[in-house]
Amino acid sequence: MPRFAANLTMLFTELPFMERFAAARAAGFDSVEYLFPYPYPKEQLAHALQANGLKQVLHNLPAGDWEAGERGIACHPDRVAEFREGVARAIEYATALGCPQVNCLAGKLPAGVTREQAHATFVGNLSFAAAALKECGIRLLVEPINHFDIPGFFLTRTGEALAILDEVGSDNLFIQYDIYHAQRMEGELAATLQKHLARIGHIQLADNPGRNEPGTGEINYPWLFRHIDAIGYRGTIGCEYKPKTTTAEGLSWMKKETT
């Protein structure tokens, strides 16, 4: 069965962030991911990983002012310099943490900017980032996100992401396939995963509706996990969901899948 990575931004939120590494290990995870490492010193994060025998599998590029509601700046024509600075910072952290891939959030379409302008900016930024990250042995991911949770998000469907990959033309750019977002926008989870597996660098999960743990919604996760295993996915699956009660109580689904 697939291996699972604890998303420390979403899980164990009853604990201070730096204590979540030990909690993830105690819960049976051997891998973690989270949105942003940048508020913490690289050395502190690296120590937390090493001390708990954890591998970090993912973090995001800097994505603007998150607290103010920004969800990425990669499609913002007036912030290309900021984006490139963020790529350098992401490389610095990913290298220090042994993180093999980083995700780029496109962001919301800015006011006064046409989709054509945003598209050209996004493609240019991805081309730059994919090349810079490749030099350091780090893969670049790009993630479609549903427009119900984030209205105005620029990239919302798998087909759009595939077209972007084709346009960029880099062998170092892949899709981050979030099952929850894909279910909300398009469905066809099994067929899409199988058809485009070679272009999917990372998978994340949550059930729908509610974005809670597997088993709380409409997605047949036991079947889907078997399918993902059968088609040959060998990466981790990031558990990016909101526990319906507590993280520990909600992990019974994982114990069933890994025993």
**Alpha-helical runs (H) found in the chain:** 20-26, 42-51, 80-97, 115-135, 158-168, 179-185, 189-195, 221-230, 247-250, 252-258
Q: What is the DSSP letter of 63?
A: -
Residue 240 among the catalytic residues: yes
Low pLDDT (below 50) residues in the chain: none
CATH number of the structural domain spanning residue 101: 3.20.20.150
Classify the phi-psi angles of 246: left when phi > 0, otherwise alpha if psi is within -120 to 50, otherwise beta: beta
Candidates 14, 240, 249, 257; catalytic one: 240
Among 9, 31, 52, 18, which Cα is nearest to 211's?
Answer: 9
Look at residue 257 in the predicted model and tell me its pLDDT: 76
Look at residue 73 in the predicted model and tell me its pLDDT: 98
Candidates 33, 143, 160, 218; catalytic one: 143
Residue 135 among the catalytic residues: no
- Percentage of the residues of the chain whose pLDDT score is greater than 70: 99
Look at residue 259 in the predicted model and tell me its pLDDT: 58
For residue 105, the enclosing domain spans: 3-258
Structural domains counted in the chain: 1
The answer to whether the beta carbons of residues 203 and 241 sit under 8 Å apart is: no
